[in-house]
Each structure stands twice: as C-alpha cells, then as structure tokens.
Chains A and B, each alone.
Chain A
C-alpha cells in the first residue's frame, strides 16, 4: 500500500513534468526549427566589391577594415596579430588598410611572422582611395569587421568597433 502511494506520488510528479514540458512546447511552437545559417544577403554592389576580399578556400572570411591613423584600430592591433597566429583552418582573414599611402612600412616594422598555414589564410590589402570600402560599408567608420560566409556569400555579421578576436574566431570555427 505504502509502496503504491510512493509510486503514485512519483508518477504525479513525472506527469506534471511532462505536462509542463508539453505546455512550454505548445505555447512556443511558433518558433521555426533549425534552418540553415543564412545571414543578410549582400546587395549587388556589395557582393561585387567583396569578391577579391573573400578567400574561396575558407568556410568564413573575416574582412577587417583598419588604418594606422585610427587610434582604436591601433589599440586593437596587438590583439588582432595575436589572434592571427592561432587562426583556425576554417577561417580566413583579410586585413583591409585604408591608409594613403599604403602602410607596407607598418607590416615590415611589426615583423608579422605567421606560420605557413596562416600565411595562406591571411591577406593584407590596401584600399587607399576607400573605393571598395565605400561600396561595401556605405559610410566608413573604423574599425569595422565583416564576417562573410564563403559558401553562400552572405554577410553573417557586421561589427562596428574593436573586438575580442580570439573568442570571435573560436566561435566562428565552432559554427556548423
């Protein structure tokens, strides 16, 4: 008798759990299921301007706009360089400098030594007249970073302002 009572009590609790879960599912079922990761579709102008910046070998390309005359960019730079050394293989990075003239002196001075693997994933590009930058971003505010899906060509995320690079690249590597 006592045993049955205990079983009944456990049964009631379990039934309540089930009921609550079902109720929760029912009231929030309007949410769509797991669809493929998409992101904003770039406009034709954006897409065209992005073509040379996107690395077809990588799953995602991070396009980072910076300049030596932009103080927050230079504050962020050591953080970027450290993250580039441990770049996950799925992610490529394109560093777009908007300096005029080109800051190639900066690259040499900083003596960026990357491993051979990372070298193929990281490219340094100059856009002194800000032609492509304006086509892609519209209004240019530095630093700005775009994450582009290499397969679909969609812009997954745009971030205005400095970033914590290592966690960001880690999260990208884990994405699907």
Chain B
C-alpha cells in the first residue's frame, strides 16, 4: 500500500494531469508545434519536418531546450480523452459532447495505428512494362525512376497499357490524367481496369491511386501510381462520422432554438450548391465592338467572351487600367490593325525599369521601342527563363515581365496574320492559285507554297513577291493564344486558332466560322455588321450564349465588388446617433450587399458550372457572403452580429478585389480539384466554418466593448455571451467536419488521410483554437475576460491559416499562392492583437477595481 502522504501527492498530480487547464495548455502547445512544423516546411522537406515536429516525443528547441513534441502531445490528448469518456455522464444533454470526444479519441488512435498498419509507396508505370516493384518516391531530377529505393515486391504485377493525360487546351494545367492497367495477381487471372484522379482501384488489401506522371525528355510519359497498403483506412472515416454526429447532436439537443435558424442557413447554402451537381475610328463603332465583345473565344483553356480577354490582356500589356470599352477597342485594334503597335505608344514602364532598360523617359512606349531595348538583353533573359519564378530578384522579375508583355501583345497581333491581305494577285497567277483576282491572304496561298517557289524560280515577279510576303508572316510558327474558331462536332473542347484552322481541313460550322473571320479581316469595315452577326450565330451554336452575356455583364458591372457600396452605407448608418433610427438602413444595406453577392456568386456558378469555392478568390467572396447571411439571420440575437458581419463582408470583398486586379478570376482548375462533389462538400463546409469563425471574432469583440467601454447591463451582456457560445460551437462543427472531409478527399485521391500539408495544418490549428475557446468556459472560476479575448482573436487565426499558409508557397494545395498580401496580413493581425489585448487589459483593470459579485 502507498503511504497516505504519497497518495495525496499522487492524487494532486492526477487531478492536475486530468484537469481542464492542462488540456487547454496542451491544445495551445499542439497549435504552436503544428505552426512551427508548417513554417519549417518552407526550408526543409516535409518528411523531415514531420519527424521533427509532428511525430516526435521530444522537440529540442535550439538543440538544447527539450519541449514536448507533437507525438507526446497527441498521446496526452488521447489519455485525457479516455479519462474524460469515463468521467463524463452520458445523458441526453451531454451525449453529443461525449460522442465528439469519443470521435476525436478514435481519430488519434487511428493515426497511431496508421503509423504501423500503413505502408505507402509508388509504382513506376512505363507503358507496356510489367512490374511488381514497390518503390519510395525519389527525386526525378537526380535519379531515374528505376533507381528509386525499393520497398518491396507487390503480390501482383501491374502493367500500364495506356497513360492518358490532357491539359486544358492552350495551357500547361493538367485537366485530367488516368492509366489503363492490367493487373495480374500471383496465380490469378489478368484484370483489366483503370485508375483516375479521385478514383482508385483496390485489390488484395492494396489501394492503387493515380498520383502523378513524369515527362521524360524522350519517349512516352511515365505514369506514377501510388500504392498504399493500409489495414486501418476505415478508422478515420468512422471517426469523422462519429465527430460530426456528436457535434450535430450537441447543437440539436442543447441549442434547439439556435438550431432552427442554422438549419435555415444550411438549407440556403445547399440550395445554392444543388444546381451545380450537373476599334472605333476605322469602322469599329460602339455597336460593333459590343458584338465583338460578346463573341466566344477559347483562351487559357476556357471559352469566354472576348471582353474578358480584353479586360485581362490589355491592362497586362499596357501596364495601366482603363475603362472596359477602351480596352475592348484597343484589343480590336491589335487584332485587326496590328500595324498601329509600331506607331502608337501604349506600354508604360515604371521609373526603375526605364533606368534598367536605358531608354529615354517617356509616358509610354511603342512595342518597337521596347523590342529594341530588350534585344541586347536576350542572352540574359533566356538564362532567366530557366530560373523558377520564386527565385528571381525583384528587378529580374520585372524585366521578365516586360518581355512577357511584349510577347503577349505580339501574339495577339499575330492572331490574324495568316488572314490579313498579303498583296493583290492578277491573272494568270490567280487562276493557278484557284482564287479570284484581287487581294489574297496567306491562308489562301499556303497550300500552294511549293508551286509558288517553283514559279518564283522561273522569274515570275508576282510569285516571287508573294513568296517573300508569305515568308515574312512566318507560317511555320503557329499561334494558339486566341482560339476563335468554333470546335468540330466530335471534340467540343478543340477550339482552333486562326493559324490552326488555316492549316487543317475544316467542315461544317468550323469552315463557316473560319470563312467569316477571313471575310471580316480581309474587308473590315465594309461588311462588318453582317459578318459579326454571322459569327455571333455560329458561336451561339457552340457555347452557352447566356453564359457569355452574363459574363460580359458581370465584367461591366462587377456585382461582387459593387456589393461593398450598400454594405458601406449600412456601416455608416451604424455610426449615426441612436435617435436617428437608422437600424432599418443597416439591415437594408446588408440585404443589398447580400443580394449583390448572391447574384455575383450565382453568375459565376452558372458560367463555370461548378461550386463557387475552388480558388482563393472564390473562397474569399463565399466567406463574405456566408458571414453577411449569418449576420442577417441572427441579427436579432445580438446587436453585435450584423455590424460584425458587415465589417467582415466589406473587408473580405475589398481583399478579394485586391487579389484579382486585372486577372481572369475564372481560371481552369488543377485535375485534383476537378470534382464537384468534393468541392461542394469539403470546401463549402470549411469556408462556411471560416465565415462563422470571423463572426465569432466580431461578436466577441463586441462583448469586450460591452464589458469595458459601454458597460452595458448584465442582461445585455449575457445575451451576447449566449450568441457567442452558440456561434463558436457552429464554427467548430463546420471547421472540424470540413477539415475531416478534406482528409477523406485526400485519402481518396492521394492515398493518405492526413499528410501534414500546410493547408491541412492551417485548418487543424483553427480547429484546435476553436476547441480552446470551447474549453476555456469549463475553467473554474469561469474567466470571462480571457474567454472573450481568445474568441476575439479567432479571425487572426483564420487569416493566418487561410492566407498565411499560402505565403509559404509549399504544399499540395497550390491553388492560390500569392505574396502580395503579406503586408496587409501583418497589419491586420498586429492591429487585431493590439485592440483585443488592450480591451482585455482594460477589462482586467475594471475587474480588480470593482470585483463582481
């Protein structure tokens, strides 16, 4: 038996080890460890960071200070969760909480089990070669795939019969890749099957995923298949289910009234996602330009109206924003009258570049001037092209950009180079070429090139000049930037540029469209109206005319950006004195903003036919929409909610506007994101969670103000606190379930549930933070001031985990890397910390002065 004195000591230890303060401390420590590990990934490989920070029992800070490592912290959490499960009563009111804790325990256990039960490797699938080698992934740059270290031999052979991969037309963004396989198990029958992104094949306890591919310098691309043997792969799915169920029950059983409204909000979100599951002076009048603006073109992989091209390409080239109509007119000039580029100065440079290039300072330069200035630097520029963009110095990147601007504008100008009139041809040459007397273009004479060369050798003056003219157009250098000719019926994605069309045999609508463009270019102002109408009609057969019209409309009237105006009016009305009775204006402002945002998002969904959350820009506007919607729905619960929602809405829309200045926000998606199901479930849930978290911050800030500055009554404060409590549980539900759904998606397409990727870690840190917010309330005595301060800082964590991890530029979620907002992020975070911190200090001062009952 242990002596009573030791028993007392042991009991105290046990109490401390299983107490709430310890849990909170561990959650915070885990957050710190995950953040450190994520930042470390910027300068060390993921595997090393994982060993050092996430799996380790002890982390040696600076090499000498022992700190608890991620593994130890997780083990402690598992221990404390077990204790909690035994201790916590299981009643109808606490069942949700109990289940949630059980789910988290199951999740940690499954992670632990996976460490032993899961083995993952790769199979290098050279087309037509049977293999059973299961290899670690090596670096393609340093070692050929055959030299990747072998993990073992699979109990079946895999032969890649065919590797299929498609890029978005005219880009290098992979749209789709898949492998057709023959798998022969030992002593079994051959099995013919296929794996694609998000669609693995399972057999004999192994799961085979399409991971990536290697394009060797010569020969066919090599398909890289991830092969995972994981006997525990169902555990995380189950844990996710249990956690989701638990949190839902918690909300349903404890907070019924609140639940009803949340249900309304969720249904609305669902309703939005549901339909998705499936040149003036030379004749270019405003009316003609308008028709031109609506014509469809395939550019960067997407079919869009020409106006979108004008709104992105023209400011990029000129270096200046201009009204849309002017940009469209300029694009028309470049297309149909490219000669103007040599005479009209259009491209602006900043002071540093003027110095760098050594040109005379001017407001703007012609393309010719820039080409001449860049010419002596060609060797340097070619060397720079080999350097990854992230490693270029500031001046180098700027220099490259000038080069790119010149290249883009020349590409645009060359779009119709084959169709523009070369020279007048007379008989007998015209008859030989099979054309009528008059002007001909390169496309018409291209197939007769050899005959023309022969004639030129026989001293035919006309033929000689035609050959010279033809050579100047450089027909062997194709131009595929703007694909203006409608696609053939068998492949609706294969839009053709005038260059491609001129060199292939066309039929049906394609031939008609090409003919129309040819007429338009050859005899511009004379027949423009009829031809443009014809082009519009042909285009309408191959695109969604309404989608084009809507896109042009949203370019002219950017609904999302305009939504700031009513919301700003609402915010201003808030500042008005109470007796002016402006409450209605506030609500109306929020409603107006919400309506505009909804229209803008709906328009994007219609144009792109996918859920509106696939890019960083989209997720920002979706969160703005979500927070304004929540604010409106619950505006009666707390007077703080609507102002917080409005402020976050305005802020986020402004951030989104800054993110996308002068770019086409409707880019094509990487192959792995090309699935509406996961976009709709994972990304909608998690962005909804971000929105709720931002509101949590707003309400908590308001509660702090109530306590310290306004000193409102206890009832008013209690009301705000109730809202805050409910809102943070909703935020926790959405963020936690969203994060776990992301894990399931990753498990479906990459073969692992959790990979410590920065974006995943960001979401996990936010989940932990919200868990801390929820658990602080269990402390005795309940520290209101700390609870409010921690909750009020939630938006900082959201900003860091959402945008901050993008600044690291590492990881698999490479859909929105941007470094222009680092400054903004720093300002926002430090300002928020200062405000919340000073309010907390004030609160503490008041509490010591007049202790509450």
**Are A32 and B151 in contact, with the CB atoms below 8 A?**
no
- Assembly CA distance A21 to B237 (angstroms): 11
CB-CB contacts below 8 Å: B203-235 with A: 203-205, 234-235
What is the 8 Å Cβ interface bit string for chain B, positions 389-430, against chain A (1 contact, 0 not)? 000000000000000000000000000000000000000000
On chain A, the residues within 8 Å of B153 by CB distance are 37, 156-157, 171-172, 175
Q: State whether B149 touches A167 (Cβ < 8 A).
A: yes
Given known A5-B90, A6-B98, A157-B132, contact A175–B152 (CB-CB < 8 A): yes
B147 engages A162 (CB within 8 Å): yes
User: Which 3 pairs between the two chains have the least Cβ-Cβ distance?
Assistant: A161-B146, A35-B187, A167-B149
Contacting A156 at CB < 8 Å: which of B132, B151, B234?
Answer: B132
Which residues of A47-86 have CB atoms within 8 Å of chain B's CB atoms?
Answer: 76
A159 at the interface (CB under 8 A from B): yes
Is A161 touching B147 in the complex (CB atoms < 8 A)?
yes
**Cα distance, A10 to B85, chains bound together (Å):** 10
Check A161 against B234 for contact (C-beta < 8 Å): no
State which of A12-20, A100-108, A113-121, A126-134 sits at the interface with chain B: A12-20
Q: A161-B145, A167-B149 are in contact. Are A40 and B234 (CB under 8 A)?
A: no
Q: Is the CB of B149 within 8 A of A164?
A: yes
In angstroms, how far is the closest chain B Cβ from the Cβ of A71?
Answer: 13
A16 interface neighbour in B144, B149, B186, B241, Cβ under 8 Å: B241
Name B's interface SS: mixed
Assembled-state Cα–Cα distance A11/B204 (Å)? 29
- Per the bound structure, the CA–CA distance linking A158 and B153 in Å amounts to 12
Closest residue of B by beta carbon distance from A5:
B90
A164→B150 contact, CB < 8 A: yes
Point out residues on B near A: beta carbons under 8 Å. 85, 89-91, 95, 98-99, 102, 106, 126, 129-133, 136, 138, 143-153, 155, 157, 185-188, 202-205, 234-235, 237-238, 241-242
Interface mask (A159-173 → B, CB under 8 Å = 1, otherwise 0)? 111111001101110
Q: Is the CB of A24 within 8 A of B147?
A: no
Asked whether B150 lies within 8 Å of A20 as measured between CB atoms, the reply is: no
Number of A-B contacts (CB under 8 A): 108
Please, how many angstroms separate the alpha-carbon atoms of A39 and B153 in the complex?
A: 11
Task: Enumerate chain B residues within 8 angstroms of A28, measured Cβ to Cβ.
Answer: 202-203
Q: How far is the CB of A144 from chain B (nearest CB, A)?
A: 10
Check: A109 CB closer than 8 A to any chain B CB. Answer: no
Cβ contact within 8 Å between B234 and A21? yes
Given A28-B203, A171-B153, A174-B152, verify A163-B146 contact (CB < 8 Å).
yes
What residues of B have a CB within 8 angstroms of the CB of A17 in the complex? 234-235, 238
Digitize A133-163: 1 where CB-to-B-CB distance is under 8 Å, 0 elsewhere.
0000000000000000000000011111111
Report chain B residues within 8 Å CB of A163.
Answer: 146-147, 150
A35, A36, A175, most chain B CB atoms within 10 A: A35
Q: A32-B185, A32-B187, A167-B151 are in contact. List 17 more A-B contacts (CB 8 A).
A: A6-B90, A13-B238, A17-B238, A20-B234, A20-B238, A31-B185, A31-B203, A35-B186, A36-B186, A39-B186, A159-B133, A161-B145, A161-B147, A163-B150, A167-B136, A168-B149, A172-B153
Expressed in whole angstroms, the minimum distance between the Cβ of B744 and any Cβ of chain A is: 13
B89 near A16: Cβ-Cβ < 8 Å: no
Instruction: Say yes or no: A40 contacts B130, CB within 8 Å.
Output: yes
